[in-house]
Structure 1
Amino acid sequence: MEIGTSIKTIRKRKGISQKELADQCGISTNALCQIELNNTLPQKSTIKIICEKLGVPISYILYFSLTEEDVPEGKRKMFNSLNNLMKDVLFEG
């Protein structure tokens, strides 16, 4: 699971800078950088604030934090298809 990568991907797709999101969340840019690099696991309260500022449910962050390695080998093709559909839903328009 890579929660930081998920946050970074959604933030970038929404065109929000790291500094802007950090400021909105009341954390330092360095703290957000460490989260996005998966060096630090954010507290639940921080994840909640980040999700509110990104305008996505916490479930999206958790879902997109899954990597192919987190899924049983026999289910990876289905996971990848579902993952692409979920990205279309989140990032359309």
Structure 2
Amino acid sequence: KENLCLYGYPNETWEVNLPVEEVPPELPEPALGINFARDGMQEKDWLALVAVHSDSWLLAVAFYFGARFGFVSNNALSTISAPLVEKVMDYA
């Protein structure tokens, strides 16, 4: 099997496809191989795993751009993380 990645687009569509050949070295790479665990897991558990990988990658990219462009605020993380923790706990 090939390493597959989940890609989200600005128009709110998603695509599962092979990883791109070259990612700019400063950007975090998406998690590879989301399809490997699929066969041995229940669908709900696998979708939760894909969501965790996607969310962690999106947060990594957001922190990268925040650091790069100097968006510094002590209370910004608590504004983001509180609703995120609530959503995760709803599905746990």
TM-score (normalised: structure 2)? 0.35
Q: Which has the higher strand share?
A: 2
Q: Which has the higher helix share?
A: 1
